Amino acid sequence: MNKPVKKIALVANSDKPAARRIVQRAARLAAAAGMKPVIDEAKAHSADLVMVFGGDGTMLHWARDMAGSGTPIFGVNIGGMGFLTAVSGKDLANAIRSIAAREFSIETRTLLSARGESNGAPFRLSAMNDIVISRGTVPRMIRVEVKVDGEVLTIYRCDGLVVGTPTGSTAYSLAAGGAIVAPGAGVFSITPVCPHTLSNRAVIVSQQSTIEVRMLDRQREATLAADGSDVVELAADSPVTIRRSRCTVKLARLPGSSFFQTLRQKLQWTGSHA
């Protein structure tokens, strides 16, 4: 049984015009349901649950912020695709009632950790979706050597490389031709972006694996991004080590919702609705 949610934090993407109105409505509904609403983002870590209003980008921001805290986050979609959000804005009242009644489940999602050096300084970044290595401003392919647990996998000649979690399999990895991976699968995916050799394909490895990526081109620019936001420059022969993070993220879900249901809805797949 979930712990009672006495204090609920309400955070939103301030760039969304509807964000302020829906947060105010959520605060009224939460108070009426016997919970204490917190709308000060700086105090979100003191809440029993964080309700996030926005799209997947807002969810990723708060997922990384709350990683390792054990506090579940619940997404309300007021953005685009919304693979990570639990409900749409029109279902807000029902969602508030379910949370107050402790009628929700918790999913644990794995994060990636990337370590390396950029411009002579060490960096360590975390990502819920993916670590992406991309070519710079010059529209030329890059050569990237990939090792898995110390053994060379291959040298990709490509426009970029996506190392993704199961959560991130419906993001950039999917656009690059990678497989859709169920959230509970204990794997990471390695997917080249526009590979210049037709035999280069996405590879699935265990989450216990250590992935080492090294750019080979000295005359080419490349960057590394964590969830599309934190970006660092990469130099040739400066390896990046990617492995499972020690921190996890807790996602709250309402009864009756599932990953496959979300896939059918978002990707407009056919299937039984019985």
Q: Count the Cβ atoms, other than its own, within 10 Å of residue 41.
A: 15
Of 74-78, 124-128, 161-165, the poorest mean pLDDT is in 74-78
Does 153 map to a domain? yes
Does 271 map to a domain? no
Helix residue ranges, H only, 50-103 = 56-66, 92-100
- Model confidence at 65: pLDDT above 70: yes
Same domain? 100 vs 71 = yes
**Could you read off the pLDDT of 235-268 as tens digits, one per residue?**
888 899 999 999 999 999 998 888 888 888 888 8
Same domain? 174 vs 261 = no
Does 273 map to a domain? no
Q: Are strands 121-127 and 187-193 parallel, antiparallel or unpaired?
A: unpaired
Helix (H) or strand (E) holding 192: strand 187-193
User: What pLDDT score does 220 carry?
Assistant: 79
Domain encompassing residue 85: 7-104+254-266
pTM of this structure: 0.91
Does 2 map to a domain? no
User: What pLDDT score does 263 carry?
Assistant: 87
Residue 174: CATH number of its domain: 2.60.200.30
d(CA 191, CA 202): 4
Q: Is 149 a catalytic residue?
A: no
Length of the chain counted residue by residue = 274
**256 with 70: CB under 8 angstroms?**
no
Report how many domains make up the chain. 2
Does 62 map to a domain? yes
Residue 29: CATH number of its domain: 3.40.50.10330
CA distances from 96 to 8, 19, 30, 40 (A): 10, 16, 6, 18
pLDDT band for position 79 (50/70/90)? low
Among residues 56, 130, 159, 227, the one annotated as catalytic is 56
Same domain? 136 vs 241 = yes
d(CA 130, CA 190): 10
Could you identify the residue written with the tokens 């599309």? 228
